Structure 1
Amino acid sequence: MLGLTLLPLSQTAQARSLSEVLKSGKIVIATDPPYKPFFYEEGGKLTGFEVELGEELARRLGVKVEWKYNKFDTLLIGLSQNRYDMVIASHGITPERLRAVDFSAPDYCSGGTILTTTNGPATAAALKGKAIGVAGGTTYSKIASGVQGAQVKTFPSTTAALQALTARKVDAILVDQFFAYEMKDSAHGKMLKVGQRLTTERVGFAIQKGKASLTGAVNPQMKKMTEDGTYLKLSQKYFGRDVRCK
């Protein structure tokens, strides 16, 4: 990532209690940019909806954020290995993940959505016998595997899956609905079509199990952001609508 400092994994930080985080004056948060509009680079600075939520959360806790970067499918592993205090990377809250880590209350709701070419298959029924691209490590692999008669192809990232779609190597990809609409509004938009949303997904910040004091501090601050209009302001800024779970 140009313009961003990539901190090597050898520089680890213990997953700490709330008191330890507050005493140090910083919270170490991991993510995997770019995933616009949630976390991406702009003018050499990390920004995006979840980045701003994370920065505002830290400000309200009275600390600064030290961001670390890693591949999406290794982030929760790194969290369990004490490499950082929290992960903010649009992780869907699933029973499988809840066995490994804890989550904050959802910071938004989304769902697995079909993104295809203009004349491509836009419904689950239309995907029968077609090739679906998904990013490895995401919840969409399992969802795509449940589409009857479809062939699932896994890629190292959502960007790679999108490249396969625009190169006509797959018939459709299964992605987060916000990413689907973002791509529809991008330079590729004329050749893309947003199809059916197949699931509803609650998304939250991941915190290592046993760090109840940290989780207990995050949720009240997120609630306050909703009540005082901060959340809605950020939601309107990045999506033009309220993306809270309702």
Structure 2
Amino acid sequence: MKLLKSISKSLTLALAATALCLGAQARTFDEVKKDGKIIIATEGQFAPFNYFQGAKLTGFEVEVAEAVAAKMGVKVEWKALSFDALLTGLRQDRWDMVIASHGITEERAKAVTFTEPHYCSGGVIVAKDPAIHAAKDLSGKVISVQTGTTYLENVKKVSNVKEIKNFPQDTDARAALASGRVDAWVTDRFVAKQALDANPGSGMKIGDFLFIERIASAVAKGNTSLAAEVNKALAAIQADGSYAAISKKWFNEDIRCK
């Protein structure tokens, strides 16, 4: 009887564990469609791509995601949190999609499924000293970047950098350059351009690209049904002119990958 009870208890625990795992699975597109909403996470601290104007979440990526969701026939429920928690939460199925200027890398692609890129850009070198404008000029210098980004990964590849200071938010990395705590800041080209346009007296200048990258949203690893629908919707807004209108609103140019 004790053995039978033990077996029964073990079976119950196993079934409970299985149910828990099944319950944690990423939602397919059909499930998202039935619910009528897609849960999308972003950082909300990376202007002009995703940021808050007061209490309102806005930016190029926010508008692109809203347009994509509309083509998919669903509404968006937004989540905003720190950049380094976004893909972790996606792997835990806490949301359906992440759109936060993630560059496509082999390492990230092992953990998530990327959609087609929604823009192409790259990391540029920003400095106050006009002698710092290319990768070779970073030798012996202190560089600021945001934690968990491809900017950090690529600065690590540069030879003879004196020190890399990484910050939770890209705005903190920019502030480090503005206050003279670092010699250069590496960030997205469009982020740098907006920051310098907004602060023409900062003395900061944009130098060369350190690297080029394709930027995409991400869904849970293997969630091909949702990725396919996002790709179809993205292609649709690029074809009907709405993507170009959003892009030109934010950047005065079409920033899709050519």
Distance in 1 (alpha carbons) for counterparts of 2:56 and 2:119: 23
For residues 21-75 of structure 1, give each alpha carbon's deviation from its aligned partner in whole angstroms, at most 9, with x where no partner exists.
Answer: 0011110000011211111122531111100011111111111100011110111
For this pair of structures, how many residues does the alignment match? 235
60, 74, 97: which is aligned to 1:63?
Answer: 74
Distance in 1 (alpha carbons) for counterparts of 2:222 and 2:168: 31
Long gaps (5+) in structure 2: 1-23
Alignment-mate amino acid for residue 35 of structure 1:
F
Does the CA-based 8 Å contact 1:31-1:88 persist in structure 2? yes
Does the CA-based 8 Å contact 1:18-1:214 persist in structure 2? yes
In structure 2, the CA distance between the partners of 1:17 and 1:208, relative to structure 1 (3 Å rule), is same
Aligned-pair distance for 1:120? 5.5
Matches within 5 A, 1:152-163: 152-163=164-175
Structure 1 residue ranges (4+ consecutive) displaced by more than 2 angstroms after TM superposition: 187-190
Match of 2:237 in 1: 225
Alignment-mate amino acid for residue 122 of structure 2:
G
In structure 2, the CA distance between the partners of 1:120 and 1:169, relative to structure 1 (3 Å rule), is farther
Match of 1:10 in 2: none
Matches within 5 A, 1:79-94: 79-94=90-105
Does the CA-based 8 Å contact 2:82-2:168 persist in structure 1? no
Query: Share of identical aligned residues, percent?
Result: 48
Match of 1:145 in 2: 156
Match of 2:44 in 1: 33
Does the CA-based 8 Å contact 1:120-1:172 persist in structure 2? no
User: Which protein shows a greater Rg?
Assistant: 2
Does the CA-based 8 Å contact 1:104-1:206 persist in structure 2? yes
Alignment-mate amino acid for residue 131 of structure 1:
V
Distance in 1 (alpha carbons) for counterparts of 2:189 and 2:27: 33
Per the normalisation by structure 1, the TM-score is 0.91
Long gaps (5+) in structure 1: 1-12
Aligned-pair distance for 1:113? 0.5
Per the normalisation by structure 2, the TM-score is 0.87
Aligned-pair distance for 1:187? 2.4
Distance in 2 (alpha carbons) for counterparts of 1:26 and 1:230: 21
